[in-house]
Amino acid sequence: MSRLSKEKIHHLSKLLMQALYKNDQVDFLDEPNEVRLTIQRAIEEEMKLYDQLDRKAREKIAAQKKQIEEGSQEWEILYRKYYNEELSKLTKLSE
Q: What is the pLDDT of residues 3-59, one digit of tens each?
A: 789 999 999 999 999 999 999 999 989 999 999 999 999 999 999 999 999 999 999
Length of the chain: 95
In a domain, 1, yes or no: no
In a domain, 66, yes or no: yes
For residue 72, name the pLDDT band (cuts at 50, 70, 90): very high
pLDDT (0 to 100) of residue 30: 92
In a domain, 45, yes or no: yes
In a domain, 30, yes or no: yes
Residue-number span of the structural domain to which 84 is assigned:
6-94
Residues 48 and 9 sit within 8 Å (Cβ to Cβ): no
In a domain, 59, yes or no: yes
**Helix residue ranges, H only, 1-95:** 6-22, 32-62, 73-94
pLDDT (0 to 100) of residue 2: 53
Among 83, 91, 89, CA closest to 61 = 83
In a domain, 56, yes or no: yes
pLDDT (0 to 100) of residue 54: 95
Return the sign of the alpha-carbon dihedral for residues 76, 81, 85, 91.
Answer: positive
Number of structural domains, the chain?
1
pLDDT (0 to 100) of residue 1: 47
